[in-house]
Each structure stands twice: as structure tokens, then as C-alpha cells.
Amino acid sequence: MDKNTFIIEGMSCAACSAAVERSVKKLEGVKSAEVNLTTKKLSVEWDASISTKDDIIASVTRSGYTAILPSTKKEKSKEADGIKTDTNSGQKIELIISWILSVLIMYTAMGQMFTPPLPLPSIFSPHTNPVNFALIQLLLTIPVLYTGRNFFLRGFKALSHFSPNMDSLIALGSSASFLYSLFLTFLVSSDAHYIHNLYYESAAVVLTFVMTGKYIESSSTNKTKSAITSLLSLQPPKATVLGSYDNPELKLPPKETDIDSITAGEVLLIKPGSIIPLDGIVLEGESDVNESMITGESMSVDKEAGSKLIGGTLNGSGVLIMRVTKTAQNSTLAKIISFIEEAQSKKAPISRFADTVSGIFVPIVLVIALVSALVWSISGQSFHFVLRILTSVLVIACPCALGLATPAAVMVGTGEGAKKGILIRSAEILEILQKVTTIVLDKTGTVTKGKPAVSSISLYNTDTTLIKTEEELIALASLVEKNSTHPLALAVMSQAQRRTISVESYTSLEEKNRAGRGITALLKNDTSGQTLSLSVGNALLMKDNNVPVQDAQTTIENLEGGGKTLIYVAVNSVLAGIIALEDELKETSISAVQSLKKMGLEIILLSGDNKRSAQSIGNKIGADSVIAEVLPEDKARVIEDLQKKGKTVLMAGDGINDSPALVQADIGAAMGKGSDTAIESGDIVLMHSSIDSIRDAILLSRSTLRVIKQNLFWAFIYNLVGLPLAAGVLFPLTGLLLNPMIAGFAMALSSISVVSNALRLSVVFRGMMKKETEKGH
């Protein structure tokens, strides 16, 4: 299956996006097609062996719109920035002109209704010069119609493709008012009474109100895209390449090079106060780096030789020389932007009903308008009364509010999350987050810092194993652990390096890695030629290899009871020693777990460590339960068992062996400083790598769903109340009839209110966070 995103031009409302989706979904081989009205993007997943990109573009064209496949980074950046031509200076000028002319039309047409009448030159007086009175309104209205020409061009084009949209309703309503008024203008010379039935002001003012609404809506919608705009601005266009760093004899001067041209392995100079252009490793220099824009961590991070750098972060006061490890296309920043774009391109399940309604909304409105007009006509009302009903119904209907209700809130929500270092993969994930009942925390690297260190070494059976010192024990253990990337193995290697122990007198003949247990190796002493079997791992490995550990039972219980993780070392099936390691809790783990429990969530600690050690950590953080001695391949099964009990599970891990469990969980939360595999597997990525971020993610989800529900409620209520009022249901009882101009104003206001409410999400989110923080105290 191929996946691609197309930019759709010409859409103005939810009916437009529904038409595009319907057209593309009819193609053979298309698995899914989703249009995001806010970003104006179509995301398609299809079988490329059946349909091509050109087929998709042609399908969109048949529906009355234009599809463009971004071919350059510049085009993609422009779209991601949310820079829309709808808010350019030219249209702003046209809007101002439209307002000036509409005010003049209103003054001319309605000024005479005041007591006393507003002054008007006698040449345009309806009493002495009725023809001129009609003509001046006609001449003022024509430029307004021109400024709103896009409503007519798009609206009638959509009608010609049998997929009417909001523009069609506006175009029909304004055209009806204008053409009726134009017809009466020709009759004024024979009967001046017709000037009282002119509707030029309705045609003009309705267009002006709707144009104003669209302008404000577009400007507000662009604000919802501020997260991607901000992220794109983090990467500088150029970087200083040190071409002679690895080959000094070349004597090449530092060179400013385009970011896109820089490849992995090149060496860059990072000056104080400048933005780090790409991901890499520090070769020389020391500095403090502000990573808050990526990780959400407010404290600067000290960097020295060997430290990792993230592109888009801000260098402090020092000079750094770095080697690039990832190109611009594969950088952490690029992944984050891709993550957010993917989330914003997908729809939340809660929006499906609104999408279904939007697809049939405009045809229903057209039917209501025609039926209303027919009923009032049959009841004996005048033509201008019927026209007023028809125009009001067409103009007040607003599929835009329905179409914007969910995506606008999702864009603000995912953007707000990105600011706090929380990356959410899709709108569906954002919705599921607020349903989570159980949080499973992997111990190492999630609850703890993931950097265990050797705290003590105990020797046993020295006469039998011939290992007399701690140095010898560490030397042998590090020899078989040297190829492992597990945190415990790295801790042993680090201890060996600190003790400057040489292991050259042994050669490894054979090694067998036992997942979740440890390593068994056959070693040869290069001096004596003797061979020995060495087992380095946990208690399960000792049990498998029939290594008795009873002599060390008291020590084992004391160490495990203190939360230590134990590595057993056995020589020829005899226990030679125990290496105890301690992994410190993260500073925020205890407080974060307590906050989550106060939110009514169940906390489970999951670990491959021994029961006593895991229980000790569980007790410290206040976990509701602890599941220990779980092999990597069994972690996913544990999650599945919890789900079978009806629990909605969020699994958080750093990805060393968490990927299957992250995939199995309803929500997989990958710690951003973990492995790339975990980030790919995670439904959300916590760049800050803190459990606090889980709380923030759930609160963000709850805030977003609250705003979405509010938006959908008001969008539906607006149309359910507005359409009957416009159809004149109250007229028989109260004599009140909705003016088309008021209908146009209400329609514009509905879309603005939905987007404005979405922008209010950040306030709702911060309010929820404050409330939960106060609970914690």
C-alpha cells in the first residue's frame, strides 16, 4: 500500500471535503481517503498497482477541485506553515472596499426608514428620483459582487459537478436577491412602488459578512498551525562545514552550506548563541544547550565531547564542533514535524457523524429552501416575502462550522502537545487517551533513569572458581557483555573501564545470548590454554544452568529488598560472584505517579527484574501493583491480559525491549530519549522522557475532547435552530421574519466561534493542569 498527501485547492467547507473524499474513495484500490478541511490536505492510502497518483488527481478534478502533490520542500514548508493566500494583502483591501460600499448601500437603502430620515442628496431621493435611487444601489452592489466573486466561481462550479457546497448556497442566495432587484429596477420607471422591494443591500451585506467571517476564520485557523510553523523555523537554512577537520592537509576554509546538501559524517562548527542545524555528536568543546523547543525541558543541558546534539536546539555560550549523524530529511526535527502533520491529517472517530451530516448537508438545505419557498408561496405570500425566506435559508446554513469543529481543535491540541514535548501520532490516539484506565510503566528507563551503576560486588567459591578478586570477576563479566547494548551490560563495561582492567588473557570461543536471562560463553585462557564455561545473567539463567545460589541467599534477599538489580556470574556451573547494580529513580517519578493515581488511574509497574527488587521500586513510587520477572517476549502478553479484563491500557517504555508491548497497548507511549524503534512503535512520544508527560498527555486529550464536543454541540444547535427561524416558523406566531443580512452575519459568526473556541483550548488545558497540580498539594 502506498501513502501520500495531496494539497487540495478550492475547498471552502465541509461539503467540499466530503465531495473530494467520496470521489477518491470510488477509485479501485483506494483503502482510505481523508480530507482535513483545516489544512486543506487529502491523505490517501491505496494500492499503486491498481490506481496511480494521476488517477487520484483526476478524481479530485472530476469532483470540481484541484489536487497538487507537493514536489519540493519549499512547497511543503509553505503548506505546513499554514501560509494561505486567503489572508493576503490584496484580499484584505478587497474586504475593506466591500465594507465601505456595503455601508453606503445600507445608508442609501435603509436610511429613509429612520425618523427623521437620514440625509440623502435629492438626486438619489426615493421620493423625487426613484430610478436614481435604484441605480445607485445597483452601481454600489456590482463591485461588492466582484470582491466576492470566488463564492460565485466556486459555488456554481460545485453545482455543475452536482456536489453543491457552502459557496453554492451563498452564490444562490446572493444571486437571487441581486437578480430579483435588477428585474425590479427596470420596472421602477413605470411604478416607483417597486423601490420598496429591492434587496441590493441583502446581496451586498450578506457577501461582506461572509467574506469577513472567512477572513477571520482563515486567520484564526492559521494560528492553530503555529506548532508546525514554529518547528519549521527552528532549522537554519545553512550551516558552517569544516571540510579540513578530518584531513587537515586540505586546508579548506569553513564554508556556509545549505542544510539539505549536508550529509551524515560531515563536521560542523557551532558558534555561541546559534541554532544547532542537525542531529550529531560533539567532537570538541563544551557548552550548555537549550533543548526546550524539542523536549519541553526548561533546564539547559550541558554538552561535552561525546554528547548527542539535536537539530533545532539552541547552543549556549560555548563553541562546539560536531559530526552530523542524521541528514535534514531524517533528523529528529523532521520526524517531529512528520509526526504532527500525520496527526493533523487524520480524523478523530468523534467527527464521523459530523462528516456524514456534512456530506448531505447542502442538498438538504437546498430542499428546505425550496420547500419553504413553495409553502409560503402557496399560502399566499408575496414574491418578495418568499424570496426573503429563500435567501435567508440558503445564507444561514453553515456546513463550515461542522467541518471545522474537530480538525481545528485537533490542530491546536497536537500543537499544544508539541510545545510540551508530547508528540501524538493521530487524532484517534488523542481521543483514546482520555479513555485510559490503566497505566503500565516499564521500570528501567521509564521510572528509573535507565543508567544503572555497580553498587557492590560479592565473591563466592573463590577456591573452586579461581576468581580471587573483584577485578577478575568484573573482567570476565565485561568480556562477554562487550557486544550488548542493555543498560545493565553497559554498567558492567563502565565499571571495568573505571578500574582499568585488562581482559586480554582470555579469548571467547563461543557465546550464547539468552533473551531476558543473560549470556553463556566458552572462554579460553590464552596463557594456560584451559577453557571454562562462564554464565553472566539473572537468577533465571542460573536456574537454567543448574547453578546453586543457596550460599548467597541472605545477601540476595538483602540486596533485592533494597531495590538492587543483581547480575550473577558463574564459572563451570559454580557461583563465582554477584554484581549488584542500582538504578536511581527519576526525580519526578514519585510525584508523577501520585498525580496519575489522583486522576483515578491504576498504576502497574512492569519489570524483567526480580520480584523483590521490582516490588521495592513499586513501593517507592506508590504503584498499585507490580508485575516482575517478565521476559521481553511476554510483556505484550501481560498487556493483552489486562485488556481482556476490560481495561484501556497505556504502556510507557524506553524501547530497549518494549516495542511489542507498545504496539499491543491501546496507547503506546515511547520515551523520546529511548530507541528509534520505540519512537516508531509509540502512539505518543514523550520527548521529555518523564512520567509527568503522561499526565499532561491525558489532560490534553480530555481538554481537546471537551472543546470538540462543545464545537460539535454549537455547530449542530446553530443549524438546528437557525434553519427553522430562517424558514419563517415563528412568523405565524410572532410576525417576526429573519432578515437575510442577519442570517449572513450569523453564518459568519458560527465558523468564527468554532475556531475561536478551538484556540481557547490552551487555556482549558492549562486550567486542567493547574487543577490537578492543586490536587497534588
H/E run at residue 44: strand 41-46
The β-bridge relationship of strands 602-606 and 574-582 is unpaired
Q: In the structure grid, which three cell numbers stand for residue 258, read together?
A: 545549505
Please report where in the chains the cell 430562517 appears, as a residue: 726
What gap in Å lies between CA 507 and CA 489, rounded to an integer?
Answer: 19
What gap in Å lies between CA 32 and CA 35, rounded to an integer?
Answer: 10
Q: In the structure grid, which three cell numbers stand for residue 455, read together?
A: 553498587
Our answer to whether residue 442 is catalytic in this structure is: yes
Q: In the structure grid, which three cell numbers stand for residue 109, read together?
A: 437603502
- Report the candidate in 572, 313, 584, 289 with the shortest Cα–Cα distance to residue 448: 584
Helix (H, G, I), strand (E, B) or coil at 221: helix
How is 399-442 classified by DSSP, letter by letter? HHHHHHHHHHHHHHHHHHHHHTTEEE--HHHHHHHTT--EEEEE
Please report where in the chains the cell 461588492 appears, as a residue: 144
Helix, strand, coil proportions of the chain in percent (round to 5)? 55, 20, 30
What gap in Å lies between CA 155 and CA 360, rounded to an integer?
Answer: 16
Under DSSP, the state recorded for 585 is B
What gap in Å lies between CA 59 and CA 163, rounded to an integer?
Answer: 13
Judge whether 635 and 657 are in contact, CB under 8 Å: yes
What gap in Å lies between CA 378 and CA 708, rounded to an integer?
Answer: 42
- Spatial neighbors of 437 by CB under 8 A, at least 6 apart, are 601, 602, 647, 648, 649
Neighbours of 4 (CB within 10 A): 14
Indicate the length of the chain as a whole number: 777
What gap in Å lies between CA 695 and CA 772, rounded to an integer?
Answer: 9
- Report the candidate in 358, 349, 280 with the shortest Cα–Cα distance to residue 321: 280
What gap in Å lies between CA 313 and CA 168, rounded to an integer?
Answer: 48
What gap in Å lies between CA 333 and CA 9, rounded to an integer?
Answer: 28
- Taking the alpha carbons at both ends of the chain, their separation in whole angstroms is 51
SS (H, E, C) 154-183: HHHHHHHCCCCCHHHHHHHHHHHHHHHHHH
Judge whether 315 and 271 are in contact, CB under 8 Å: yes
Q: Is the dihedral of CA 585, 586, 589, 590 positive or negative?
A: positive
Judge whether 438 and 650 are in contact, CB under 8 Å: yes
What gap in Å lies between CA 508 and CA 523, rounded to an integer?
Answer: 5
Please report where in the chains the cell 526525580 appears, as a residue: 587
- Report the candidate in 155, 140, 146, 156 with the shortest Cα–Cα distance to residue 93: 146
What gap in Å lies between CA 521 and CA 546, rounded to an integer?
Answer: 15
H/E run at residue 360: helix 352-378
Q: Which one from 442, 658, 683, 696 is the annotated catalytic residue? A: 442
Catalytic residues: 442
